[in-house]
Structure 1
Amino acid sequence: MTQITPSAPPLASARLTTALVLAMLLASLGTSIANIALPVLGTAFAAPFSAVQRVVVAYLAGLTVAAVYAGRLGDRFGLRPMLATGLLLFAAASLLCSLASQLSLLVLARLLQGIGAAFMMTLSMALMRQTSTAGRLGRSMGLMGSVSALGTALGPALGGLLLPLTGWRGLFWMPLPLAIVALLLLVALPDQPPAGRSASPRLRQVLNRVMFNTLAVNLLVAAVMMTTLVVGPFYLSQGLRLADGQAGIVMAAGPLIGMCCGVPAGRLVDRFGHRYTQRLGLTLMACGTLLLAFTGAAGGVAGYLLAIMILTPGYQLCQVANNSAVLAEVPDNQRGTVSGLLNLSRNLGLIAGASLPGALFAWATGSAVLATAGAEPVVVGMRLTFLTVGVMLTLTLLSTLRKAAGRQTIQK
């Protein structure tokens, strides 16, 4: 397998890091940049909202379904070559998106773009692990977490800026030059002597009880964060009566805090270990969600932001700790597969967070149409939703503490 080791020349390491950061940034950007263009796409193609929504869903479907397969191909044929393949597919699909003459063609191109993004997300994380020394693994995972949060946060703002200047097509050709730059950086890296390859492992050889538990926690914390993005806008606009612009500014706080917390979270993982930081992250997330549940309308914007300021760093701590713990001791021929499983659990968590708690919130408001729900039902719905996820996080935390106590008893 072609690889750049931690002892590679500084220039080669810097080029590889830049390529990996660009790949993660573009893949994350693709998840959110098209959302703002849905009304324009509906007009352009004379299609209903349910039809143009497939432009977003197709990308997420490709990103989720291809994650593990991308990792297994990376283990089989080399992480760098497969990452380059993903970048090439992403670039070609971006061009096809910008040239689409029919909505069905745009949806198909977005599906291909999502598959390319799955290679980029999965293999950039695996390669970052491969090039990191043991004492800096947390910081490396934290950097990728910060870049992922930056891409997700930047998508709506960048899309809103480009839409009046370039039309909807500009949102899809804009990533093309950056994907080409990342691809050229990978190709320009010096070749390394290929290491001995072994067959890509079967999933049952990779999955064990510890990894399964970590993936389950990964899924849960991603679902909780998506819940804030689904329920938050209704609470701010209808519960607190904020204007759309004001609600948007408040909603941007979470991704911005996440962007700033990734690397510090990684430093804590490197210093104190993944078990301690995971438990700290779960504690912060449980406190943040319970604060959202009990603050209600009385807390106002300040109460909401305080909860987000507690919740978001907790999410980054959990994510970085989980990624570091799972990838730390993985054999070379399993890093791509394990990275794919991590991304799969995260994506499934995002999907679950957008559906299950959202359904609970809608039921608790007692309104068939959320847009017409009053302030009090929305606050009640928010309280029940975050109380539920807060209890789930608390139970997960107690479970990890019980397992830690069991390990200490066995050691004694």
Structure 2
Amino acid sequence: MHWRSWDVNLKVRLFGELITHTFFWMYFPFMALHFSDAFGKEAAGLLLTIPPLLGMFANLAGGYLADRIGRRTTMLLSIALSSTMFGLFAFSPSPWVDYVAFIGIGIAGSLYWPASSAMVADLTTEEDRRLVFATFYTAMNIGVVAGPVLGSFFFVHHRFELLVTCMIVELLFGLAIYAWVKETLPPRQAGSAPQAFSLKEQFQSYAVIFRDKPFAVYIGAGVLVAIAFMQLDLYMALYVKEHVPSQPLVWWGDWSFSIGGTSAFGWLMGLNGFLVVLFTLPVTRRFENWSDRNSLVLSSVLYGFGLFLMGFTVNIWLLFGCMVILTLGELIRTPVAQSFISKYAPDDARGQYMGASSLQFSIGRFLAPLTIGLSERLSPLGVFSVIFGITLVSALLYVYMFRLIPEERKKEASVRQP
């Protein structure tokens, strides 16, 4: 499915999300530093644990709203909130107002993504869905790579102008969605009578979802993978900074360019971002005929194995090789995980399943820092071994999950084998 044949909804959103994500990453990586300067490191650390917890509830609410009031309406509400919060941030008189705006922007994003993912699923066939999700993932990662580079200048030296621009960009994106994006809520839901927002009904809806045993196992496996994924800027960062000495990256005669510690970590993360942007679509095409089960299992094993191998070396080129292995696991997993939920979820609850699925990342982000404490008791190889063990358990859970899925749902949730 070539992008030129995409529905206009997808084209507008792909371009808009590329731009807004780039601006998001121009400010987001610097917020921990900003709040550390304002409140002190200890207080900032505590304050930064609150947004992910609120994001968990916002994700669930976003999925619920996407299935009740529509994908487009939920996205417009999210963008309106985000634009307002960027404006508040820009004209903020104190760090506490900055913090409130930061929370508001995070909540807006958590409301947006379940509706966004559900709309992609509404507009694509099962055969094309992986590739479309992979294209959106590539666009997102272009922002991840470019945003911090630009933000290192603009956030530090022109913060007010950057935040005002973010506000305007969000507003323009909202206007584009209002003008060109059409509602994609399935007809049976769209034709039903409007319902008032009900916390009780939302709780009951998600209670039914989490009693879906295969889906609960999927969330559990995803939490374990997310714990490993979050180690890129947690234990892996600590390991590289503390154990990787300065060493020549390239050399010619008496000249050499050396990296180590923090600079080595930056190069590793840069390689990860570069590989994601360059190879998401080729890898997705290469594995498009693999079953969801085999893709999820392989991605978990590769990701954990890449981290595990890091415990054996401090050579920067071997660490680059480890990063290639774990990034391949990331590239295989991401479009498959998104397309699997869109196929598995009932049409009338797709948004809620998307919202609930995001819990694996929120819970994983909450649990992942435990490896830092573990590093005080275990050697680096011991910590990486634990992480590898976690990913192997996730792989076994994926195998178990597909055995739980009834035969008729397997047909809907991919039965193709490589």
Q: Smaller-chain TM-score range?
A: 0.7 to 0.9
| 2:313 counterpart residue number | 296
Task: Report if the CA contact (8 A) 2:141-2:276 is conserved.
Answer: yes
After TM superposition, list the pairs within 5 Å mapping 1:80-99 onto structure 2. Answer: 80-99=72-91
- Larger % of helix: which? 1
Of 325, 328, 334, the match for 1:310: 325
Of 12, 15, 18, the match for 2:12: 15
Deviation at 1:192, TM superposition (A): 6.0
Specify whether residues 123 and 268 from structure 1 end up closer, same or farther in structure 2 by C-alpha distance, changes over 3 A only.
farther
3-state SS in 1 of match to 2:60: helix
Letter in 2 for 1:347: S
Letter in 1 for 2:12: R
Deviation at 1:151, TM superposition (A): 3.7
After TM superposition, list the pairs within 5 Å mapping 1:9-408 onto structure 2. Answer: 11-22=8-19, 31-38=28-35, 42=37, 45=38, 47-53=39-45, 56-167=48-159, 169-189=160-180, 191=182, 195-197=187-189, 198=192, 202-207=205-210, 208-241=212-245, 242=260, 244-268=262-286, 270-293=288-311, 295-297=312-314, 300-353=315-368, 355-364=369-378, 380=379, 382-401=380-399
Over the aligned positions, Cα root-mean-square deviation in angstroms equals 3.3
Letter in 1 for 2:390: M
Task: Report if the CA contact (8 A) 1:87-1:180 is conserved.
Answer: yes
**Distance across 2 between alignment mates of 1:403 and 1:52:** 39
**Distance across 2 between alignment mates of 1:307 and 1:71:** 36
Letter in 2 for 1:356: L
Deviation at 1:29, TM superposition (A): 6.3
Letter in 1 for 2:328: P
Residue deviations 1:173-197, cap 9 Å, x none?
A: 3422321222111011165698342
Task: Report if the CA contact (8 A) 2:224-2:394 is conserved.
Answer: no
Task: Report if the CA contact (8 A) 2:299-2:330 is conserved.
Answer: yes
3-state SS in 1 of match to 2:124: coil
Deviation at 1:24, TM superposition (A): 5.7
Deviation at 1:155, TM superposition (A): 4.3
User: Which one is further off, 170-179 or 115-124?
Assistant: 170-179
Instruction: Calculate the TM-score normalised by the size of structure 2.
Output: 0.80
Task: Report if the CA contact (8 A) 1:66-1:118 is conserved.
Answer: yes
User: Which one is further off, 187-196 or 108-117?
Assistant: 187-196
Instruction: Calculate the TM-score normalised by the size of structure 1.
Output: 0.81
Q: What percentage of residue pairs aligned between the two structures are identical?
A: 15
Letter in 1 for 2:395: L
Task: Report if the CA contact (8 A) 2:55-2:106 is conserved.
Answer: yes
**Distance across 1 between alignment mates of 2:137 and 2:282:** 11
Unaligned runs of 5+ in 2: 196-201, 246-259, 411-418
Unaligned runs of 5+ in 1: 1-5, 365-379
Specify whether residues 217 and 30 from structure 1 end up closer, same or farther in structure 2 by C-alpha distance, changes over 3 A only.
farther
Deviation at 1:279, TM superposition (A): 2.0
Letter in 1 for 2:392: T
Deviation at 1:77, TM superposition (A): 0.3
**Distance across 2 between alignment mates of 1:7 and 1:85:** 28
Letter in 1 for 2:364: G
**Distance across 1 between alignment mates of 2:350 and 2:71:** 9
Task: Report if the CA contact (8 A) 2:27-2:151 is conserved.
Answer: no
Task: Report if the CA contact (8 A) 2:130-2:284 is conserved.
Answer: yes
Residue deviations 1:223-256, cap 9 Å, x none?
A: 1111121122322222113253343223322233
The alignment of Structure 1 onto Structure 2 pairs a total of residues equal to 380
Residue deviations 1:7-29, cap 9 Å, x none?
A: 99854542244345556666666
3-state SS in 1 of match to 2:85: helix
Residue deviations 1:246-286, cap 9 Å, x none?
A: 43223322233233343334334532231221122123123
**Distance across 2 between alignment mates of 1:318 and 1:60:** 22
**Distance across 2 between alignment mates of 1:401 and 1:329:** 16
